[in-house]
Structure 1
Amino acid sequence: MGKNGALNGPDTLNVAVIGAGPAGYYTAEALTGTDQSVNVDIIDRLPTPFGLIRAGVAPDHQSIKNVSRRYEATNQRDNVRFVGNLSLGRDITLTELRELYDAVVLATGAGKDRPLRIEGEDLHGVIGSGAFVGWYNAHPDYKDLQPDLRVASVAVIGNGNVAVDVARVLAKTASEMSSSDLADHAANSIHGSPIKDIYILGRRGPLEASFTPKELGELNRLENCVALVDGSQLPDEATGETLAGAAKKNMAALRTMAANTPDMKPVRLHLQFYRRPMAILGEKCVCGIRLEETRVEDGKCIGTGVTEVLPAGLIVPCIGYRTSPIPDVPYSERYGHFENEDGRIDDGLYCVGWAKRGPTGTIGTNKPDGVEVAQKILSEVHASGKAGRAGLDHVVKERDLHIVTFQTWKKIEASEEASAAAGAPRKKLVDVNEMVRIAES
């Protein structure tokens, strides 16, 4: 063993993983789970590990966050180190990292919202789901977002679980969210909002929607909000009989919603299918959205020419994400991720997770992806005597950078847990400087 528990020797492979989310951790786990001598530094620009587990998973879905225990176990390995508060581009360049490590893996995720590409999407009151979810999850990048929720109606665009999460978080009462880690600033805004109508809008029909049954079913059990569906938009009973698995469960949930009435609860959540956004209306601020009725033919979404205007003071598009480009790394504008061949970008440079394949799949999808890329690295890359961890430590010291290790991150975690309200798991810190101060205390 060398300094900080790192392995030493001419045959030790030094790997840097950029991004401390699920894809990064599964890759590190696979790289260090064989007999080969490997050191892995997991680098993240934030002082906090776990990526979307912390900042993307809905705050009222605490059970899903338990997967972080697996990543914590990976961090207990002597040859794995978390290096937080170290930003690629700001503190160190990719070229420098490639000179220090035998292999570099980009596990940077897909943090940019896909644009709607319709008129009015730049109006005040249009907030992509990446930013909106980051805001209510206490992501430091979005702590000052300040969406104006003093509105009567909200339009959420998309037919997947992110759209359901956004709608549910807006619809739940303070008591329903009391066991969550919803950011304080978001709780104050959401629970003081006069919102009465929330719309989830999908271009296609219920059979094409990508909700999972658990998430969709939750909409039928909200304390203060009734979920509504137009029964005429659902397939007939005969078609329903042919469904199986998730599709069958989803249809059962939607049929229950179709039997609900608007007067059952004070807030109404409308799931509307076959509606395509055409333009967002307003002068400086959003006041509504123009929709076109659609139909699905041979798997294609076709406009009918019939339009309507839906009043809305806030619009949250949940239509997917794109990876942020990195200078000198080949990037696919079409697909929004790095150009690669089964995870390989160039000699010694790889990508994994959403940065590799785009924003598809669940958290668990990243495990086989990480294993595959790790195996590729172990078979293609050979130890070259590069400085690795010791070289990075030299850069950190020389530039007076304030990194956060997993051990010092635990101080941040302890502070958040100690500050939590009764029944809540933590009170998330949102200021990076404050996090670093606690880590260094």
Structure 2
Amino acid sequence: MPPPVKLAIIGGGPSAFYVASRLLSLLPLKDPMSPLLRVHMYDRLWAPHGLVRYGVAPDHPEVKNCTNKFDATATDPRFRFFGNVNVGSKVLHSIPHALHLPLTSILNNYSHLLFATGCTIPTLHPAIPPSIYCMPALSLVHWYTQHPSRPPPPALDKISHLTLIGQGNVSLDIARILLTSPSVLRQYDVPEHVVEVLSRSTVKHVSIVGRRGPLEVAFTTKELREMINLPEASMVPIEPTLLEPPPGVTPTRQQRRTLELLRNGSKNPPGSTPKSWSLHFYRSPTSLTPPSTASALDMANLTLAHTRLDPATSRAVPTGETSTLPTSLVVTSLGFHADPETTFYDPAMRHLRSSAGRITSSEGSVLKNMYASGWAANGAKGVLASTMIDAYAVAGTILSDIVPFSEAATTTAPPPPVMEMAPDEMLNPHPDLDALPSEIDRGITDGIVTQYDDWKVINAEEVRRGEALGKERERMGWDEAQSLVALSRARS
């Protein structure tokens, strides 16, 4: 029989759960050939599920159905979840109330380690740094999903025109939230205090700016169709010549759909609705000038360089022309990267150093029994389906190390032949399977660290409160969740 395996997973989002689910299912509990196995998951957020809870737009409840699979994974007695635990870095974007756990505590207690930490830092635009007139999209998303980092609410009652930089799904999510009636949003997973701020919003127009053209947009046709069908907003028509493919270019099926939707325009005729939105192609920000006075009616001026696509590289290059777009607030939505303070971070790739799911050294050698999956390994790209496929592949890699001759152990690529391990990065080859780091034991006792049973209590209460209000759920903040958990533990 293979030796016992004790796997720590850092991160509690979809990739982490898909890897855990796959491993536990491929190594059945009652199979005498399965090694003794423990899977412990650590997340800096007190609630599990990562981007499914704190990134998916609230009016897309169907996307969250994957949590049913995650709930099933958590019923395996070999699995444990520990939330509100920040492993390693405590510098960037830390959660103030999270327990700090040094990475050495993980290395001393586990035989295998998976990083599924995602990409948690927004990519900023060098020409327009954050200010009172410019904020990253992640702050807005975290505000309307009640993320534990608790970003302040935007001053929507002082904004008439908002400009999004970036033409991906996150930009369209934000635009859709701002252009949809709060009475419609309220039925979904939108906290009441968010609905209250949205109800006072004075946003009338949303501009969505991209440095390339309609064939290069990152948003999906599904998201575009939702924008086009907004009941209370209309799209500013796009210059028809911009929607003609360049000579010699044959659009893909998805690109043809996108062009057709853009040509047809929005369901509501332009100018017939109280709110509107527009797409601006071949434009790249170069500066943002604050208004000359402090009047709420004055707007900042966003200077945009006009661009074209370089046929050889498909990169946007400036034409030399510029224009100015007056706007109340700029929101940059340019993607995300991993936390640079995370161990094994590669500044060139902007995510962790890895090869075929295995963590590598700066020289390219594999580090034994250390892995990475999802955005942490590949960068911020892909949707839940691609995340699941990647996670299953990484689970296969882990399994090939645990049970080398198992038929279920499949990897996409063989590991490099050279293996190395620095003395201060040594995992424990003979850990106590059921022991926890001492910091975690204390954190559970002190009510700081949450477990999956705690989450089930919180989840049930959030759903109950939502039903009382006629909505999907009403979310809790940390203080209220902590009190509820303490009460539940006292009763049990």
TM-score (norm 1): 0.91
Check 1:415–1:308 CA distance in 2 against 1; reply closer, same or farther (3 A cut): same
Check 1:129–1:235 CA distance in 2 against 1; reply closer, same or farther (3 A cut): same
Question: C-alpha separation between the residues in 2 aligned to 1:304 and 1:401?
Answer: 61
Check 1:233–1:334 CA distance in 2 against 1; reply closer, same or farther (3 A cut): farther
SS at match of 1:32: helix
Q: 2:346 aligns with which of 332, 335, 338?
A: 332
Question: C-alpha separation between the residues in 2 aligned to 1:340 and 1:371?
Answer: 16
Query: In the alignment, which residue of structure 1 is the partner of 2:116?
Result: 107
Check 1:387–1:288 CA distance in 2 against 1; reply closer, same or farther (3 A cut): farther
Question: C-alpha separation between the residues in 2 aligned to 1:391 and 1:305?
Answer: 61
- Tell me if structure 2 keeps the 8 A contact 1:198–1:269: yes
Q: 2:261 aligns with which of 253, 265, 273?
A: 253
Q: Following superposition of structure 1 onto structure 2, how do residues 273-312 of structure 1 map, counting pairs within 5 Å?
A: 273-282=281-290, 287-298=300-311, 299-312=314-327
Question: C-alpha separation between the residues in 1 aligned to 2:402 and 2:396?
Answer: 10
Query: In the alignment, which residue of structure 1 is the partner of 2:279?
Result: 271
Q: 2:155 aligns with which of 145, 148, 152?
A: 148
Deviation, 1:260, is: 6.5
SS at match of 2:214: coil
SS at match of 1:17: strand
Question: Structure 1 vs Structure 2: percent identity of aligned residues?
Answer: 29
Deviation, 1:239, is: 7.5
Deviation, 1:200, is: 0.6
Deviation, 1:259, is: 9.2
Query: In the alignment, which residue of structure 2 is the partner of 1:375?
Result: 396
Code of the aligned partner of 1:427: E
Deviation, 1:288, is: 2.7
CA deviations 1:157-200 (Å, max 9, x no partner) are 11111111011011100122132112333222222111111001
Deviation, 1:228, is: 2.1
Query: In the alignment, which residue of structure 2 is the partner of 1:23?
Result: 15
Q: 2:479 aligns with which of 420, 428, 433?
A: 433
Question: C-alpha separation between the residues in 1 aligned to 2:239 and 2:248?
Answer: 13
Query: In the alignment, which residue of structure 1 is the partner of 2:65?
Result: 66
Deviation, 1:107, is: 0.8
Check 1:259–1:376 CA distance in 2 against 1; reply closer, same or farther (3 A cut): closer
2:398 matched to 1:384? no
- Tell me if structure 1 keeps the 8 A contact 2:231–2:268: no
Q: 1:320 aligns with which of 318, 329, 335?
A: 335
Code of the aligned partner of 2:42: I
SS at match of 1:67: helix
SS at match of 2:484: helix
CA deviations 1:249-294 (Å, max 9, x no partner) are 2112111227965311111101111111111221798713111111
Query: In the alignment, which residue of structure 1 is the partner of 2:76?
Result: 77
Residue range with higher mean Cα deviation, 263-272 or 293-302: 293-302
Query: In the alignment, which residue of structure 1 is the partner of 2:411?
Result: none
Check 1:282–1:388 CA distance in 2 against 1; reply closer, same or farther (3 A cut): farther
SS at match of 1:23: helix
Code of the aligned partner of 2:327: A
Code of the aligned partner of 1:145: P
Code of the aligned partner of 1:391: L
CA deviations 1:295-336 (Å, max 9, x no partner) are 113112121111111111111111100111345x22122221
Question: C-alpha separation between the residues in 2 aligned to 1:39 and 1:427?
Answer: 33
CA deviations 1:98-149 (Å, max 9, x no partner) are 110111111111111001011x42321311111211111111213x412221
Deviation, 1:347, is: 2.3
Deviation, 1:12, is: 2.4
Check 1:10–1:132 CA distance in 2 against 1; reply closer, same or farther (3 A cut): same
Residue range with higher mean Cα deviation, 27-36 or 164-173: 27-36
Residue range with higher mean Cα deviation, 242-251 or 378-387: 378-387
- Tell me if structure 2 keeps the 8 A contact 1:110–1:354: yes
Q: What RMSD in Å do the two structures reach over aligned CA positions?
A: 2.4
Query: In the alignment, which residue of structure 2 is the partner of 1:360?
Result: 381
List runs of 5+ in structure 1 lacking aligned partners.
1-8
CA deviations 1:340-374 (Å, max 9, x no partner) are 22222222322111111100110111112112222
Q: Following superposition of structure 1 onto structure 2, how do residues 220-235 of structure 1 map, counting pairs within 5 Å?
A: 220-235=228-243
SS at match of 2:398: helix
Code of the aligned partner of 2:207: Y
Code of the aligned partner of 1:93: P
Deviation, 1:398, is: 4.1
SS at match of 2:377: helix
Query: In the alignment, which residue of structure 2 is the partner of 1:411?
Result: 457
Question: C-alpha separation between the residues in 2 aligned to 1:10 and 1:238?
Answer: 59
Deviation, 1:388, is: 4.0
Check 1:225–1:115 CA distance in 2 against 1; reply closer, same or farther (3 A cut): same
List runs of 5+ in structure 2 lacking aligned partners.
28-33, 89-98, 360-366, 404-427, 488-492
Count of aligned residue pairs for this structure pair? 428
Q: Which has the higher contact order (CA 8 A, sep 6+)?
A: 1
SS at match of 1:163: helix
Check 1:209–1:238 CA distance in 2 against 1; reply closer, same or farther (3 A cut): closer
2:203 matched to 1:195? yes
Question: C-alpha separation between the residues in 1 aligned to 2:454 and 2:266?
Answer: 51
CA deviations 1:11-61 (Å, max 9, x no partner) are 321101111100100110122122333211111122211100000000110
Deviation, 1:401, is: 4.5
Residue range with higher mean Cα deviation, 286-295 or 127-136: 286-295
Question: C-alpha separation between the residues in 1 aligned to 2:2 and 2:451?
Answer: 26
CA deviations 1:187-219 (Å, max 9, x no partner) are 222221111110010110000112111110011
Deviation, 1:84, is: 1.4
Query: In the alignment, which residue of structure 2 is the partner of 1:397?
Result: 441
